[in-house]
Structure 1
Amino acid sequence: MAEKTTENHVKRLLKTRHLSMIALGGSIGTGLFIASGSAIHTAGPGGAIIGYAIMGMMVYFLMTSMGEMATFMPISGSFASYCTRFIDPGLGFSMGWIYWFNWALTVAVDSTTAGIVMNFWFPHIPSWIFSLVVLIYIITVNALEVRAFGEMEYWLAIIKVVTVILFLIIGVAVILGIMGGSAIGFSNLTYKEAPFVGGAPTILSVFLVAGFSFQGTELVGITAGESENPGKSIPKAIHSTFWRILLFYILSIFVISCVLPYTSPNLLGSSVKDITISPFTLVFRRAGLAFAASVMNAVILTAVISAANSGMYASTRMLYSMAHEGQAWKIFGETSKSGVPVYALMASTLVACMTFLTGIIGPSVYEFLIDSSGLAGFLTWMGMAAAHLRFRKAYVAQGYSLDDLRYRAWLYPFGPILALVLCTVVVIGQNPMALLHGNWQQIILTYLSLPLLLILWLYYRLRYHSHLVPLDQVDLSGGQLKSGEINAGKPKKEDA
């Protein structure tokens, strides 16, 4: 293992516009274009809107938590480093490896999904060929300097944002009868049991769908170490992204709910394998746009490529960060002349190559990859919230003034506590039926990340005798922004 160091060799090339679009694009994907339909079908229009709104608020608090730590200590792959420094090195070690493996698996899942999406146009060509092309493209982009990643994410995100805006405009036109025949109005919002179907239990089930939809927003914190001016760009990206995400999701769900009754079976059956019944496709078709399916298929293709690109970046930077914390082999901390952690990229690519097992073994591997990678994102959010609670306590305990923080999270400690509670509910509710009926195969697939996290944590604690870091010994010096980058340099202790 490498000796612990805070030195950062990656280049600060990401601009503010890159960070804003990375966070926005990371949370607008198949979760909105496809999964939102199942949320409406399950909980009704009102239940879906409340579920997404509450989860969106929680994600905002998580982003502010990450923003407070990232502007104070901008590190590439920051999240695991914060757990290491502020809580317990064993927790940072286990969280970091789980997060790395999860995002590397995500690359495999999204590359496979891209092949399935391409089969919409080319059904007779094996999907693994398209998956290989996408994977090679993702590797090439991530092998270039970080600005190439930022530019690619920027333009892919713009495609998704423009699609959502056009959808909202056309959807409103359908509701008012400007397109698609007679006006629909708002009758579907109160159709049968709507707006709330099933009460509180179904709203809780929407948390799970919404949580998966919002995963990826934490990339703002991970990119902090490579942004040109983290002290200014991160707070701006957090606030602008939150309102855009919340408005896009809530307004989109509202439009879908107005145009399609919650009882529509198409809302429950939508998937990347049948884009013709995506709620977005159905609304476009209601407006009389015959090419809707092809357009949405193209948009979803950009969404999965964007997710794969982000996954490769996140996993590479996490491995790089752990190498500099002494929690991964030193070679993973080495960079190319352009500042890219090349060996960490190779390791992530190796895991991503599990993509091709789907073509050899069959579709069961695809389902396994999705199930086994699902829980890690919520565990990551719990680690972020816990790290923020410890950071703030250590900051105050060591006599520093909160006024010197470049960015301060809103409504602390309510935000991180809410995140911990909701994420715990979602983690337990991943597959409650499997728990009740003792279906061990499903339990293992669904909750695989939990025992892995525990095993890694116990391994590190037993081998390196790590423990909860006392508040007065928490390292608040490493990775501090230079005085020229923000108005406040190293925080000053309050006078006695």
Structure 2
Amino acid sequence: MQAAKKNWESKNQLDDQGNELQRGLKRRHITMMSIGGTIGTGLFLASGNVVSNAGALGGPIAYLVIGILVYVLMKGLGEMSTFMPIPGAYTSYSGLFVHPVLGFMVGWNLYINGFLGLGAEIVGGGMILNQFFPSIPPVAFCILISLLILVLNLIDVKSYGEAEYWFAGIKVFAIIAFLIVGVLMIFGVIGHQGFIGLSNLTSQSMFPHGLTAVILTMTGVIWSYLGVETVVSAAGETENPQKNVPRAINTIFIRILIFYVGSITVMGLVVPYKNVSVLSNGYAGLLGMAGIPGAATIMNIIILTSLASAGNSIVYLLSRTLIALSKEGKAPKALGKVNKRGIPTNAVILTLFLGQISLITNFVSPDKVFIWLVSIAGFNTLLGWFASFLSHYKFRKWLVTHGGSVDKLKFKMGTFPIPTIICLLVLVAIAIYTAYSPDTRFSFYIGAPMLVLYFIIGTYLNKKGKLQDPSFERFIDAHINETEIK
């Protein structure tokens, strides 16, 4: 047993000497990253678009439905990542437990989808800074924000985790303060509106565009949660992943209820749905109605902090995904190289370079670009999530086939496989409805051909024998011998 443990630890990092990721993330880092990776412009800005279209009640319902789906997703990913904590796990599991071509599709879909999301984060920041300095074009701020994110991701992983810890802390504090102020306004304790109660929940405001609008906004809501997977990819650089990753995942649902569903519900109860949009976010609107001086300025500064955090997490996630793709023959070897500080420099720089898709704001209005990127990224996220649910569905059979035991897993999702199957069906339904509706069809027209292209390239490479499974033998050995992975 000791020999197996030493063997695992000797391979605990990337294989090449001097080319290693480092386990520099501590429990508090991974916990805050699981929060910080999701709370960004997707919540602060995209929520305005969701509430204005889905309504005061429809908005919270959309976030709750996708939130439940995210919780099941993370329980499944948590089960697999505590068994096999590797960088870029999100794509490796699909290739190993289902099929190498699916792993190729998921990896490149995640990557391209991710830098579209990164572009949306950068665009959001450019819009906000432009409100402070209207004489400076948003494209200049897009470049400035990109450089900031680049610097943050070229520091060692421990410093990255520390920066993300404090970024996330600011966001958590801000949302809690928002919730307190909002609840006090609902009961008429503060603000000039007096007792608000449920007065904003009228027959017109609850679902102003019907239930179909609630379903259609779900692709944007899905993008709002993009980044929650960071905690799984970070398992490969986390101290004692079998203990720290489950602790972070087990608290995700309560955070979804508080930060997402809770804040959107309060927003819908206080701020009229017609008064919110991408450029007029409901968070600043509520604080303004409360009579807090400089509310819009305060909220915009917080959103900028959130943007830096979410952008930071996206670049981290995507650069580690490139490492996994590179080591499995799905990307150029150069993208898997890591410097002496444990940073995949080539992967980070490429990701930031591609994130400059945000610069098209120089030719088209920023708010339109933001919605385009969110819609496309949200639709394409469906493949990654679908593949993760399917991977978890196949994982337990794969484990037993290779001599393992489900009972020995350090972290297990209860009531398997019913929630996984339900979530798979929900994702299929959302994809079909997105393709059917004229309002969201354009994201399908762009996203679907991309998926077909990934499939064709992946199939070609697989027939040529280029695609490789990730190394899993040491994890099976440790599992069979009940060796604790630290």
Query: Is the pair's TM-score, using the shorter chain for normalization, greater than 0.5?
Result: yes
Distance in 2 between the 1:476 and 1:405 partners? 19
**Distance across 2 between alignment mates of 1:234 and 1:258:** 35
1:94 equivalent in structure 2: 105
> In the alignment, does 2:344 pair up with 1:341?
yes
Which position in structure 2 is the counterpart of 1:266?
275
Q: Is the 8 A contact 2:187 2:197 kept in 1?
A: no
- Aligned residue number for residue 7 of structure 2: none
Contact 2:51 2:59 in 1 (8 A): yes
What amino acid maps onto 1:24 in structure 2? I
Paired residue for 2:386? Answer: 382
> Using the alignment, how far apart are the partners of 1:203 and 1:186 within structure 2?
23
- The one-letter code matched in structure 2 to 1:353 is Q
TM-score normalised by structure 1 residue count: 0.85
Q: CA RMSD in A?
A: 3.1
Going from structure 1 to structure 2, the CA distance change for 1:404 and 1:32 (only over 3 Å counts) comes to same
1:95, 1:453 within 8 Å by CA — same for their partners in 2? no
CA distance in 1, matches of 2:437, 2:387: 26
Name 1:62's counterpart in structure 2. Answer: 73
Higher alpha-carbon deviation: 65-74 or 213-222: 213-222
- Tell me if structure 2 keeps the 8 A contact 1:25–1:153: yes
- How far apart are 1:412 and its partner, in Å? 1.3
Partner of 1:326 in structure 2? 329
Which residue of structure 2 aligns with residue 166 of structure 1?
177
Q: Deviations over 1:85-128 (max 9, x none)?
A: 11111111121112112222333332233222111111001222
Once residues 187 and 481 of structure 1 are traced to their aligned partners in structure 2, the CA distance between those partners, rounded to angstroms, is: 55
SS in 2 for 1:163: helix
Name the counterpart of 1:392.
396
Matched, 1:424 2:428: yes
- Contact residue 480 and residue 490 of structure 1 kept, 8 A: no
The worse-fitting range, judged by mean Cα deviation, of 116-125 and 8-17 is 8-17
Q: 2:53–2:213: 8 Å Cα contact kept in structure 1?
A: yes
AA paired with 2:270? V
Amino acid corresponding to residue 106 of structure 1 in structure 2: G
C-alpha distance in structure 1 between counterparts of 2:325 and 2:470, whole Å: 16
43-52 or 317-326: which moved more? 43-52
CA gap 1:205/1:15 in 2 versus in 1, 3 angstroms: same
Mapped partners of 1:197, 1:111: distance in 2: 30
Q: Distance in 2 between matches of 1:220 and 1:313?
A: 11
Pick aligned residue for 1:448 from 439, 446, 449? 446
Closer/same/farther in 2, CA of residues 39 and 184 from structure 1, 3 Å limit? farther
Larger mean Cα displacement after TM superposition, 343-352 or 316-325: 343-352
CA contact (8 A) 2:22 2:342 kept: yes
- Letter aligned with residue 359 of structure 1: N
The Cα shift of 1:225 comes to 0.6
The letter of the residue matching 1:434 is: P
Show structure 2 runs of 5+ residues with no match: 1-12
Aligned twin of 1:489? 483
Residue range with higher mean Cα deviation, 176-185 or 279-288: 176-185
Report whether the alignment pairs 1:201 with 2:212.
yes
User: Is 2:419 aligned against 1:408?
Assistant: no
User: Residue 458 of structure 1 aligns to which amino acid in structure 2?
Assistant: I
Deviations 1:141-163 (CA, angstroms, capped at 9, x unpaired):
11111122212221111111111
C-alpha distance in structure 1 between counterparts of 2:302 and 2:140, whole Å: 20
Q: Which amino acid aligns with 1:305?
A: A
**Residue 462, structure 1, aligned to residue 471, structure 2:** no
Determine if the alignment matches structure 1 residue 315 to structure 2 residue 318: yes
Please give the secondary structure, in 1, of the residue aligned with 2:438: helix
Tell me the alpha carbon deviations over residues 266-288 of structure 1, each in whole angstroms, 9 at most, x when there is no partner: 13xx11xx3xx321122112211
Amino acid at match of 1:480: F
What secondary structure sits across from 1:144 in the alignment? coil
Q: How much does 1:196 deviate?
A: 5.7
2:305 to 280, 302, 306: 302
Given that 2:220 and 2:378 are in contact with CA atoms closer than 8 Å, whether structure 1 keeps it comes out as: no
Alignment of 1:280-299 (within 5 A): 280-299=283-302
Q: CA deviation at 1:371?
A: 4.6
Instruction: State the Cα distance separating 1:131 from its structure 2 match.
Output: 1.9
For residues 83 and 151 of structure 1, what CA distance do their matches in structure 2 show? 30
Q: 1:67 and 1:447, CA in 2 relative to 1: closer, same or farther beyond 3 A?
A: farther
Instruction: Determine the structure 2 residue equivalent to 1:480.
Output: 475
- Alignment TM-score, normalising by the size of structure 2: 0.87
- The whole-number CA distance in structure 1 between the counterparts of 2:193 and 2:88 is 52
Answer whether contact 1:6 1:325 (CA < 8 A) is retained. no
Query: Conserved in 1, the CA contact under 8 Å of 2:327 and 2:470?
Result: no
Rounded to whole Å, the distance in 1 between the matches of 2:205 and 2:144 is 45
Matches within 5 A, 1:211-230: 211-230=222-241
Report matched runs for 1:170-189 at 5 Å. Answer: 170-181=181-192, 183-188=194-199
What is the aligned-residue identity percentage? 33
Change (3 A) 1:103 1:160: same
The verdict on how the C-alpha distance between 1:421 and 1:358 changes in structure 2, with shifts beyond 3 A counting, is same
Deviations 1:206-261 (Å, cap 9, x if unpaired)? 43343222221111111111111110111100112221121222222332233234
| Kept in 1: contact 2:138–2:361 (CA 8 A) | no
- Show CA shifts across 1:310-359 (max 9, x none): 12111111111111112112122211001111222232233123333433
| SS at structure 1 position matched to 2:132 | coil
Against the structure 1 CA distance between its residues 187 and 350, is the aligned structure 2 distance closer, same or farther, given a 3 Å change threshold? closer
- After superposition, the C-alpha distances for 1:176-226 in whole angstroms (9 at most, x for unaligned) are 222113632423254235656666434423433432222211111111111
Where does residue 117 of structure 1 map in the other structure?
128
Contact kept? 1:180, 1:287, Cα under 8 Å: yes
Which residue identity lines up with residue 321 of structure 1 in the other structure?
A
Instruction: Indicate whether 1:79 and 2:90 are aligned.
Output: yes
Tell me whether 455-464 or 385-394 shows the greater mean CA deviation. Answer: 455-464
Per-residue CA shift, 1:26-68, capped at 9, x if unaligned?
2222333233344444444443333322211110000011101
CA distance in 2, matches of 1:359, 1:15: 41
- The one-letter code sitting in structure 1 at the alignment partner of 2:482 is A
Give, in whole Å, the separation in 2 of the partners of 1:368 and 1:187. Answer: 33
Answer whether contact 1:372 1:448 (CA < 8 A) is retained: yes
Residue aligned with 2:293, SS = coil
